[in-house]
Amino acid sequence: MAAARQDVVKARRVVVKVGSSSLTTAAGGLDADRVDALVDVLATARDSGPKEIVLVSSGAIAAGLAPLGLARRPRDLARQQAAASVGQGLLVARYTASFARYGVRVGQVLLTSDDISRRAHYRNAYRTLDQLLVMGAVPVVNENDTVATDEIRFGDNDRLAALVAHLVRADLLVLLSDVDGLYDGDPRTPGATRIDEVAGPADLEGVTIGSAGKAGVGTGGMVTKVEAARIAAAAGIPVVLTSATHVADALAGRHTGTLFHRTGKRSADRLLWLAHASTPRGALRLDPGAVKAVTERRTSLLPAGLTGVEGQFVAGDPVDLLDESGRAVARGLVNFDARELPALLGRSTHDLARELGPAYEREVVHRDDLVVLHQH
């Protein structure tokens, strides 16, 4: 018998992500038996592991369909948000009742990616989640679909789970799917083989992952799960991708699903969110010297390196930094409103300070609020 996966066995703080399709009936409502089966495993791992569990759970929109008389997931945003509003309460109530069988409390945490990419908000999110764990509760995390706009198409919470794993400094991320791992082709095709371990990008060369979407109550697919696994692994967190029916084996370190080994080290929390979760509100065009300074020397972006401004944004918003070809090479939190920047293009901070005052002797994007985007 193969030895247990030691990174998994030793993991103390674990983020588990489950999708809508693993929690709902064919008609789209919550399946109490499926929820109870998942909670049975998580509660056991929590008590006997012992492990701290953070549950990232989709299912709010799916849970709200039947009560609102909707036969399928609506396409328009307003009805998605209405379904999420009704369904989120039902989802958390189901988890509350199920975990109560083990004397365990749950705490609901709704996040939006825009909030968490900002300095103060991500600290608050970490403190809340950490305190829930310290007090013995299980945080149940979901995207705040009731008010989210672009974020409602966030990849069925897979990417959110990777970022939450980094935020709470987890030792392991478990992504639960309908499929028992990553295959080298369509798993429904004869001859397709499950990939047991992924040590790096080279192990995925030539692998056909498929499309990001599919019909039904969920929105995610294998593409979003692999991308989430890459994000977590690059942040120093191993990932197990398997089906909800194999979650007990996954948490015990048995050889189920696909194990993504860590490929990098932990970085500043909010910079990971900035790179992978923020929605840019505009863009800044840079001259070649500024591109090199930002991407190679990792310096702040100064007005002298700017050649153009795109979009409508205010100070504190995330913006993409573009090279001469229009390719996004970095993303950062801008220190000026869009309307202020055209007058600053190509000018030195000293000249600006002398003409406009000391408030203009500052970076357009400070290096501490900037992340270089690695092109795939």
Q: Which of 55-64, 69-78, 215-224 has the lowest mean pLDDT?
A: 215-224
The Cα–Cα gap between 38 and 27 comes to 20
What pLDDT was estimated at residue 269? 62
What pLDDT was estimated at residue 81? 87
What pLDDT was estimated at residue 241? 96
| Residue burial 254-284, b: 16+ Cβ < 10 Å; e: rest | bbbbbbbebbeeeeebbbbbbbbbbebbbbb
Q: What amino acid occupies position 322?
A: L
Structure-model confidence comparison of residues 132 and 349, the more confident one: 132
Q: Estimate to the nearest angstrom the gap between the alpha carbon of 262 and the chain centroid.
A: 17
The Cα–Cα gap between 184 and 197 comes to 12
Cis peptide leading into 139, omega within 30 of 0?
no
The CATH classification of domain 6-272, taken from the options 3.30.700.30, 3.40.1160.10, 3.10.330.20, 1.25.40.10? 3.40.1160.10
Whether the per-residue pLDDT at 331 is higher than 70: the answer is yes
Whether the per-residue pLDDT at 1 is higher than 50: the answer is no
Whether the per-residue pLDDT at 254 is higher than 50: the answer is yes
Q: Could you give the count of Cα atoms lying within 13 Å of 147 in the half-sphere of its Cβ?
A: 7
Q: With beta carbons less than 8 A apart as the criterion, state whether 125 and 116 touch.
A: yes
DSSP character for 56? E
What pLDDT was estimated at residue 215? 37
105-114 mean pLDDT:
86
Q: Which CATH superfamily is domain 280-372 in?
A: PUA domain (2.30.130.10)
Q: 123 Cβ partners below 8 Å, 6+ apart?
A: none
How is 16-31 classified by DSSP, letter by letter? Answer: EEE-GGGTB-TTSSB-
Q: What amino acid occupies position 9?
A: V
How is 235-283 classified by DSSP, letter by letter? Answer: TT--EEEEEGGGHHHHHHT-S-SEEE---S----HHHHHHHHT----EE
Q: What is the pLDDT of residues 144-197, one digit of tens each?
A: 766 655 544 454 689 889 989 988 999 999 999 888 999 988 888 888 889 999
230-256 mean pLDDT:
93
The Cα–Cα gap between 199 and 195 comes to 11
Closest CA to 340 of 312, 366, 317: 312
Distances (CA, A) of 102 to 11, 37, 53, 80, 352: 22, 13, 14, 33, 64
What pLDDT was estimated at residue 145? 62
β-sheet bridge partners, residue 33: none
The Cα–Cα gap between 331 and 318 comes to 7
Please, where in the chain does CATH 3.40.1160.10 lie?
6-272
Using pLDDT thresholds of 50, 70 and 90, give the confidence band for residue 202.
confident
Residue in this structure with the two tokens 């005052």, named with its chain if needed: 357
What pLDDT was estimated at residue 213? 40
The packing angle between helices 222-234 and 158-167, to 10°, is 20
Whether the per-residue pLDDT at 217 is higher than 50: the answer is no
Please, where in the chain does CATH 2.30.130.10 lie?
280-372
